[in-house]
Amino acid sequence: MSAMQINTSNNQIHVGVLGFGGLGQAAARVLTPKQEMALVAAADQKGYAYNRQGLNPDQCMAIYNNQGSLGYLEPGGVLSNQSIEELIKVADTVDGYFLALPNLPNTFMADVAKQFIAAGWRGVLVDAIKRTSAVEQLLALKDELQAAGITYMTGCGATPGLLTAAATVAAQSYAEIHSVKITFGVGIANWEAYRATIREDIGHLPGYDVEKAKAMTDAEVEALLEETNGLLKLENMEHADDIMLELAGICDRDRVTVGGIVDTRNPKKPLSTNVQVTGRTFEGKISTHTFTLGDETSMAANVCGPAFGYLKAGVDLYRRGIYGLFTAAEVMPKFVR
């Protein structure tokens, strides 16, 4: 099985995807029709694949799902227990990486960022992490990222990400923001396709935390979902929209609330995803702007699409010599053709 040869131009952005579960595979599918970006590198827990001429997403997914690792891909696959570290060193044409990784434990994303810094790598990194505390860890690395020549875009999925940016734009109508309320509905046909994402969500439930969710076996997750009829109802989540909107000067973080429902047995969304921004205008009137995502767009589309839009924006910043840490509330994504 050989990698598809893609005619990559000097202007095309060469992309790597770290993590090749449900989100990573969705990212590969999103990239397939793009002319401005090409998938050239990908890694999972057991191996990685790299081809500077481009990887065939369909072949990558077939190898991963049938044999358990991209390391079995021929040519370009390498089995490794240090797949991220080795890929960073080998993949010398990657302009930017989408970190489609579960932040389990809660320090994981910051640890990955440190690997890129330690390797002397320069380029753009994009994540779609959720927790406020995870973003705070990355903020502590802001100076190191800047010194390393890395442009890091954090919280760039759906929420935080797309809805955070929408809230930032909507806030412009007001002299004072009273509240930002984000409500999401996610439907997936089979939770096993998004094991890590579901475990992260379980970590937000009462009586659970990230470590407890990470330690759960698949059987224990199945038992929990059986009790809830496949639904995860999440309220007042620790969600990075709050710190991102606070950093952007929109409102204090305690005015931001995030919650929603995840249906792990049905691809149809259990409710519409939206953000409501309530504030006072300069005339003294109280009003609410509501931005609602189409029910037909999947979680994968709403996460991966914005992530690559922010990656393109990050590449633009990087090429202008602007490094450091940025959030979805600070920079507008750019549409990727």
Identified catalytic residue from 14, 142, 200, 269 = 200
CA dist., res. 110 & res. 12, Å (int):
28
Helices 83-90 & 108-118, crossing angle to 10 degrees? 30
94, 16 contact by CB (below 8 A): yes
Closest CA to 184 of 270, 60, 252: 270
Identified catalytic residue from 130, 239, 269, 312 = 130
- Could you tell me what percentage of the chain is helix, strand and coil, using 3-state DSSP and rounding each to the nearest 5? 40, 25, 40
Q: Is 130 a catalytic residue?
A: yes
324, 117 contact by CB (below 8 A): no
Three-state DSSP class for 247? helix
First-residue to last-residue Cα distance in the chain: 28
Pairing of strands 13-18, 37-43: parallel
Instruction: State the residue for tokens 């792990």.
Output: 264
Identified catalytic residue from 89, 114, 144, 204 = 204
Lookup: tokens for 59: 């072949």
Q: Is 233 a catalytic residue?
A: no
Q: Is 200 a catalytic residue?
A: yes
Pairing of strands 150-154, 231-234: unpaired
273, 163 contact by CB (below 8 A): yes
Active site residues: 130, 200, 204
